[in-house]
Amino acid sequence: MSTNIKTVGVIGTGVIGASWTALFLAKGLKVIVSDPAPGAEEKLTTYLEKQWPVLERIGLSSSASLSNYKFVSDIESHLGSVDFVQENAPERVDFKRKLIANIDAKTRSDVIIASSSSGIPSSQFIDDCKQNPARVLIGHPFNPPHLIPLVEIVPHPGTEDKYTKLATEFYASLGKHPVVLRQESPGFIANRLQAAIGNEAYSLVQRGIVSAKDLDTCVTSGLGLRWALTGPLMTNVLGGGGGATGFKHLLEHLGPGVQAWTKDMNEHAFQWTPENIESLEASVGDWLKTTDVASVESERDDVIISLMKLKDNAPNLV
């Protein structure tokens, strides 16, 4: 571990918090975990036991152990002993404002408080921090955090650079690929991209232009395969012939068509009405009738692990 962080406090053990816990344990850290939800401790235990063989395939730290975590009913009395906090509470500003203020008051003043918020900038929930709001930032992972390497680090205007740097080093030491945003943006980066694609996907399926399964196939057998290796900008460079002029050439070549498509997309943008959501859900539901979702998740995780190992040997791919 390239930092002095040895014990992590994880608050909230839903899908994201449980996955963070698994990653921290796999890297040899001690973890103090808390979640007030009924049955949270039992669910976490079951999740960690299920994911541990996956983490063994990826590679465990020599000090990794499932016995290195402690689930506590009230984390307040333990906050003074943690070196880093990963908060995974509900996506509500009022809830986070109160929670982050309490964490700020009970932790050492130099301990980074990282929120896994999916889209709320931390400047919206630090107002009540009295000790040191300059160490609060966003550490937004992609699900599941123990497999997907991306983590978006989003400092608020008052976050001190030293904490941003330390958070970046810490996440990198876990095998994550941290990206630091230069300024706050609602939804950050990856979720905004995901929302843009998702909204168009919802529109196309809801309007009956394509089935839910075939829509996903357009991504998994086309766009997604390329984007896992070269993102949209580098894909444009290569699509434009490569070299220094490839990007501009592709934009100039496709520009008129893309503008026409965009106009049509805006005119048929998905409307988040109960009726449209129900129609869309029905289309997805038809697909799910013949799909074993648990097997999809397991096979997805297996392929992700294999792909990440291949990418480790491809230094020119980001």
Q: Cβ contacts of residue 160 below 8 Å, gap of 6+?
A: 134, 135
Q: 91, 152, 169, 200: which is the annotated catalytic residue?
A: 152
The Cα 232–Cα 237 span in angstroms is 9
Count, residues in the chain = 318
Answer whether 55's CB lies under 8 Å from 103's CB. Answer: no
Query: Is 152 one of the catalytic residues?
Result: yes
The Cα 18–Cα 47 span in angstroms is 7
Nearest to 104 by CA among 24, 158, 146: 158
Would you call 224 helix, strand, or coil by DSSP?
A: helix
Nearest to 207 by CA among 273, 257, 269: 269
262-268's contacts with Cβ under 8 Å and 24+ in sequence apart are: 265/200, 265/203, 268/203, 268/207
Nearest to 99 by CA among 84, 109, 88, 110: 88
Answer whether 209's CB lies under 8 Å from 182's CB. Answer: no
Which residues are designated catalytic?
152
